[in-house]
Amino acid sequence: MTELLEPAALTGTAGLVDDRPAEGFFRVDRAALVDEAVFAEEQKAVFDRCWLYVGHTSEIAAPGDFRARTVAGRPLILWRGTDGEVRVFLNACRHRGAQLCRVPDGNARGMSCFYHAWTYSNDGRLTGLPDADGYGPGFDRSRFGLSSPPGVDVYRGFVFCCFDPDAVDLPTYLGEARDYLDLVADQSPEMEVVEGMHEYSMEANWKLFVENSLDGYHLIPLHRTYFDYLKATEDSYLDPRRPTEARDLGGGHAVITVEGPWARPVARWTPAMGEENRDYVEARRTELEERFDADRARRIATTDRNLLVFPNLVINDIMGVVIRTITPTAAGRTVIAQWTLATKGEPESVRARRLDSYVTFQGPGGLATPDDMEACESCQQGFATAAESPWSDISRGIHKEAAGGPFTAADEVQQRAFWRRWRDLLGLR
């Protein structure tokens, strides 16, 4: 994303991010979280320029499979062609723009626009044109295939797109975050997104939930009822003295890591998983040790991680893998979409345990996520005092930056990584 920075377009708002590590300061002007002009600017500077998550290849496993998705406000079709190729199309007829795909998912060799019946094959070609004689000899139907975003690429099954034709390629964009996507993708020879998605929302700025997704500091105070539940039902609890790590991965990407006490389907068996699953889970660990060296097998199997791929993709690999996108629809409104990624072919009892662990903690009906939404909304409401109290403090651990860390998950270096990239993209530096 080099050479994309423009001079600050927000006259008078330069300095939204007050970053003075030598003085132990890092604070964000709450205008960055409430101002609709900032929202409009970040649509252009961030969402129109960064690589954004669309879906996973396993969601369109068979030729012809498709999913309708909305990314950065654009309706898209994630579609596997009869030729096996994964493509992303803009979900708008080339003729007059009506949405071609009007169902959430399915399988089709082609789609026909309901308005004038222009028809496209699943490789995007315009194959059907009613009353074609009405077009003159200069009309070249090969120029009217479905359009795609300027950038579409797949990394380890994760499909991304980018609306900036001048962006760097996806591997370069992902940078060090690739290693952490690998830790998820390498959990088994084949991973699959489980059917069903969570979609929920909050009346708060999207960046608050990005911060929350990387925030080890809030876990014990905010999620007490969840940890009480884990203690009561599984006798596992998060010891605050347990070592954790936070890393700025560059490019706005960041990760926090802990080795938690809870069960992981890949691959940390605890009694909570049931004796019947012990052999299976322990065999997964052995399999990883055969495929990788011992340290990498350990990282895959027993480290719990929350990864941010800038700007809005979060991958939580804790009791299972959660794929989360955080999308603003206004300065004070955010929609979150979540899926879970699992080992293909795992036993039903392991799959059931995985899904139950996920929904108990996460999502709109979990024992924890509604409190995260409440916290972010409460912050947003508190920002009504922004004129008098403009700054949010994000300085935990900043005194360790000169030495390069090490940082814990309860530090905020991971959130600063996000904000510094955001600031650079908005040209506010």
Partner 1 sequence: MTGPLTTVPAALQHEVEQFLYREAALLDGWRLDEWFALMHPDVEYRVPAPGSDHLDPRHTLQVIHDDHTRLGGRVVRLTSKHAHAESPRSRTRRFVTNVRLDGPPGETGEITVAANFHVMRTRLGKLDHFLGTYRFVLVPDGAGFLVRERVATLDHGIVEAGGTVSIIL
Q: Point out which residues bind partner 1 (CB under 8 A).
A: 104, 194-203, 222, 224-226, 228-229, 232-233, 335, 339-340, 348, 351-352, 355-356, 358-360, 363-365, 367, 369-371, 373-375
With beta carbons less than 8 A apart as the criterion, state whether 60 and 86 touch. yes
C-beta of 116 vs 224, nearer to partner 1? 224
Question: Phi/psi at 77 (nearest 5 deg)?
Answer: -120, 120
Q: State the minimum distance, in angstroms, from the CB of residue 232 to partner 1.
A: 7
C-beta of 257 vs 369, nearer to partner 1? 369
C-beta of 104 vs 243, nearer to partner 1? 104
Integer angstrom CA distances of residue 66 from 61, 78, 156:
9, 5, 19
158 closest CA partner among 59, 49, 77: 59
Helices 278-291 and 294-302 meet at what angle, rounded to 10?
Answer: 140
Q: State the minimum distance, in angstroms, from the CB of residue 198 to partner 1.
A: 6
Integer angstrom CA distances of residue 81 from 60, 149, 380:
10, 17, 44
* Residues β-bridged to residue 337: 199, 325
C-beta of 281 vs 322, nearer to partner 1? 322
C-beta of 112 vs 201, nearer to partner 1? 201
C-beta of 40 vs 335, nearer to partner 1? 335
C-beta of 148 vs 270, nearer to partner 1? 270
Q: State the minimum distance, in angstroms, from the CB of residue 411 to partner 1.
A: 24
What DSSP element (H or E) covers 65? Answer: strand 65-71
With beta carbons less than 8 A apart as the criterion, state whether 146 and 89 touch. yes
Q: State the minimum distance, in angstroms, from the CB of residue 195 to partner 1.
A: 5
CA–CA dist 396, 385 (Å, integer): 23
Residue 194 CA to its chain's centroid (Å): 16
Sequence-ordered list of residues with C-beta below 8 angstroms from that of 424, at least 6 positions apart, any chain: 5
C-beta of 289 vs 371, nearer to partner 1? 371
CA–CA dist 102, 113 (Å, integer): 9
Q: State the minimum distance, in angstroms, from the CB of residue 365 to partner 1.
A: 4
For the record, the structure tokens of 287 come out as: 């399999």
Residue type at 3 in one-letter notation: E
Q: State the minimum distance, in angstroms, from the CB of residue 104 to partner 1.
A: 6
Q: State the minimum distance, in angstroms, from the CB of residue 369 to partner 1.
A: 7
CA–CA dist 301, 285 (Å, integer): 6
Q: State the minimum distance, in angstroms, from the CB of residue 152 to partner 1.
A: 24
